Amino acid sequence: MNKLKLLFITRHFPPVSYTAGVRAKNVAKYLALRGWDVTVLTVEPDKTYDQFIDSAALLDELSRIGVRIIRAKHKLRFLLRGQSIVAKVLRALSCRLLEIDPFIGWYPYAAKAVKGNRYDLIMATAPPFFSFILAYYLGKRTGIPYVLDYRDPWTLRPHGRNAKPWIRALERKVAARSSLISIVSESWAYILKETLHMDGKIYTISNGYDPEDVEGITPMKFTKPSLVYAGIFYPPKRSITPIFRAMKEASKRLPVEKQPEFHYFGAHEDYVVREAEKVGIKDCVICHGVAPRKTVFQALKGAVLAPVITSVLPEGDLLDKGIVTGKIFEILNLKVPIMLVAPHGSDARNVLIDSNAGEAFVGTDIKGMADYIIRACKGEVRPTFEGREKYSWPRIVEKLDSLLRECLTKSAARYKM
């Protein structure tokens, strides 16, 4: 029996080191293991722009299970980088003022790279949302059905201003021709259904964890009970300040040897140090900078608590409630107790409840967080993690596989008619 051929369009893919690449890697890997012939179309890495991970073993594994990777060039790289005055001006005009996607220069090379190949289905994951536009034009040119996978909303943005009207019109056009749309949270799925009026083809495909990612991970040794946070911040919504205030309160009620430390891994060291100084706990905060994923996993494995922050606001709109950061699933994978800061009724809280992985708080509940930190530092926090398997990539892709095959059946019937 011939395998179904999938063209999977993604800007982020190993060896490029971005959180977005984690979803793309797992979708490609587990669809291939479920019998798809997967070809990944991605951007040729740029050493002056991209961060890299040691992914030789991973790429060998993907090749072994039959995943083919096509890396196409990007023609207008000044839209991504470039320090000359001309490059900066052009980038400001095109990307910030006009909101032209900086990956538009990828199109001619990407289209040429797949020309002459036959596929049963096209799937694009975004952001960047030019991958959706590329799927639209390839689908329109060939008649191949395409699927859109939203990792974030396109035109409604929880951490910035909403898109211009012409971008919203483009989203409606691209979405209307698609055969299926997936998005990472229930709240964001509801928003898409309301804004695009396409209820029948929008589904939630959560992020998740790959059990194989943590094989052989040993816990990092810390001298004191430690909270470990890896990632970035979006103040004032995603702020570290409530965590620091809770740590300060907890330390007042603990003996010196049990007082917690905070270990930060990521690019926002200046912000973390500044907030620690404001709260008065700078001596308890250690910044490690950007570190390899394995090192971060080892640190998380050695933590008594792993804070996860979606928004420090007690209440939020659906955009805020739909934020489910990818790190929550990595922590589930490692079975480390989670201290979640998120609005009431948020999707991230539902993940925590489903997986019995910790406790959730609003950003104003400093006492509640302090009490939880104290219990963790005393070794009294022991979540069961019962139910977390729902968020493993093998389980998630089982649902995605079914949707894609159903989508192909419906598309074949439509084209036949």
Provide CATH 3.40.50.2000 ranges for the chain: 5-208+393-416, 212-390
Packed helices 56-64 and 19-33: angle between N→C axes, nearest 10 degrees:
30
Nearest Cα residue to 306 out of 395, 390, 385: 385
Q: What is the pLDDT averaged over residues 198-209?
A: 94
Q: What is the pLDDT averaged over residues 339-352?
A: 98
In this predicted model, what pLDDT tens digit does every residue of 320-338 receive, in sequence order? 999 999 999 999 999 999 9
**Ordered DSSP codes for 73-121:** --S-GGGT---SHHHHHHHIIIIIIS---GGGGGHHHHHHHTTT---SE
In the chain, the largest separation of any two C-alpha atoms, in whole Å, equals 74
Split at pLDDT 50, 70, 90, the class of 78 is very low
Share of the chain above pLDDT 90, in %: 71
Q: What is the reported pLDDT for 65?
A: 97
Question: Please, what CATH class does the domain formed by 5-208+393-416 belong to?
Answer: alpha beta
Q: What is the reported pLDDT for 11?
A: 87
Strand order in the sheet with 306-309: 306-309, 338-341, 358-361
- The contacts of residue 15 (CB under 8 Å, 6+ apart) are 45, 52, 53, 54, 55, 59
Residue length of the chain: 417
Share of the chain above pLDDT 70, in %: 86
For domain 212-390, give the fold: Rossmann fold (3.40.50)
Q: What is the pLDDT averaged over residues 161-173?
A: 84
Give yes or no for residue 258 having a pLDDT over 50: yes
Q: What is the reported pLDDT for 29?
A: 98
- The C-alpha atoms of residue 239 and residue 72 are separated, in whole angstroms, by 38
Packed helices 165-177 and 130-142: angle between N→C axes, nearest 10 degrees:
40
- The C-alpha atoms of residue 408 and residue 121 are separated, in whole angstroms, by 7
In this predicted model, what pLDDT tens digit does every residue of 2-31 receive, in sequence order? 899 999 999 889 887 667 789 999 999 999
Lowest-pLDDT choice from 94-103, 228-237, 275-284: 94-103
Mean pLDDT, rounded, of the chain: 89
Number of alpha helices (DSSP H) and beta strands (DSSP E) in the chain: 15, 13
